[in-house]
Structure 1
Amino acid sequence: MIQLNYRDSKPIYEQIKDGLKRLVITGAIATDEKLPSVRELASQLAINPNTIAKAFRELEQEGYIYTITGRGSFAADRKDISAGRNDELLKKFDEIVKELLFLSEDKEQLKERIEVLAKGGGKDDSDR
């Protein structure tokens, strides 16, 4: 489900958040599917439940999951993910593209990469 890299400089809660977000985005966790509880996931990953709770809180703030008190956390529907998240991601996209162009990345290769991603390809950096 989620792979943790303890040597990575990225905090564990962010790795968990990114892993769950990826599972929701790819459909590996279906809309309205129940996520493991904080305790279950903490036990599976052998980490502090507070770390999992922090990742869940941030995912909920970003709209990727929702929580029903007493029932658990569930994957949100794509349309429920806040429009503000689109704006935030587009700003990051613009910054990254500007830097790539500054580093002399070919515009056509960037366009092709976007097309590949739009068609469901390019699952990881090894496609480059």
Structure 2
Amino acid sequence: MDEFNTSKPIYLQLADRINRLIVSKELKAGQKLQSVRDMALSYNVNPNTIQRTYSELEREGILETRRGQGTFVTEQEDRLIQLRGNLKEEQIQTFVQIMQEMGYSSDEIISGLQDHLNKKDKGDA
């Protein structure tokens, strides 16, 4: 899981991973994150990269640092709901853009997505 894309800064990729863990509820509201040093070891990156990741997520209101205690996922439910909506919108936007670049119309995208979800609901996907 420590493979990084060279086209985007590592600290932002780590922030994306933490956000996805929060949205998927693998990290819960109020849960303590690993220390900067432990997280750096987990991802095989410089501790400064983790500090920058934590600082960015704190600036966005996703994480909170409590002096002497560590870094925690925010307990502000409205912020977590907003994060979930933002991530969904980003994924949809990327998907639609790629499909449109390949020449698919909106109707083709919608019907393809409906077909896929119907297959998945039936256990075929």
Which TM-score bucket, shorter chain as reference? 0.5 to 0.7
Q: Distance in 2 between matches of 1:48 and 1:70?
A: 22
Summarize deviations over 1:6-45 as a string: whole Å, max 9, x none: 5x31332223212211111111111101001112212333
What do you get for the CA RMSD once the two structures are aligned? 3.3
Single out whichever of 79-88 and 17-26 deviates more from structure 2.
Answer: 79-88
- Higher RCO structure, 1 or 2 (CA under 8 Å, sep 6+): 2
Single out whichever of 16-25 and 28-37 deviates more from structure 2.
Answer: 16-25
User: Do the aligned residues in 1 keep the contact of 2:11 with 2:52 (CA within 8 Å)?
Assistant: yes
User: Do the aligned residues in 1 keep the contact of 2:33 with 2:70 (CA within 8 Å)?
Assistant: yes
Give runs of ≥4 in structure 1 deviating > 6 Å.
Answer: none
Summarize deviations over 1:45-104 as a string: whole Å, max 9, x none: 332111001111122223322222221111124422485995797478457535533533
Equivalent of 1:53, from 51, 54, 58?
51
Equivalent of 1:25, from 23, 26, 30?
23
User: Do the aligned residues in 1 keep the contact of 2:36 with 2:50 (CA within 8 Å)?
Assistant: yes
Single out whichever of 78-87 and 12-21 deviates more from structure 2.
Answer: 78-87
Q: Distance in 1 between matches of 2:115 and 2:85?
A: 21
Single out whichever of 39-48 and 65-74 deviates more from structure 2.
Answer: 39-48
Q: 5+ residue gaps in structure 2?
A: none
Tell me the percent identity.
Answer: 27
Check 1:85–1:52 CA distance in 2 against 1; reply closer, same or farther (3 A cut): same
Q: Could you tell me the TM-score, scaled by structure 1's length?
A: 0.64
Check 1:26–1:86 CA distance in 2 against 1; reply closer, same or farther (3 A cut): closer
Check 1:70–1:112 CA distance in 2 against 1; reply closer, same or farther (3 A cut): farther
Equivalent of 1:64, from 62, 65, 68?
62
**Structure 1 match to 2:79:** 80
**Structure 2 match to 1:109:** 112
The residue identity in structure 2 corresponding to 1:17 is: A
Q: Do residues 100 (structure 1) and 103 (structure 2) align?
A: no
Alignment of 1:1-16 (within 5 A): 3-6=1-4, 8-9=5-6, 10-16=8-14
3-state DSSP of counterpart to 1:18: helix
Q: Distance in 2 between matches of 1:44 and 1:94?
A: 31
Q: 5+ residue gaps in structure 1?
A: 120-126
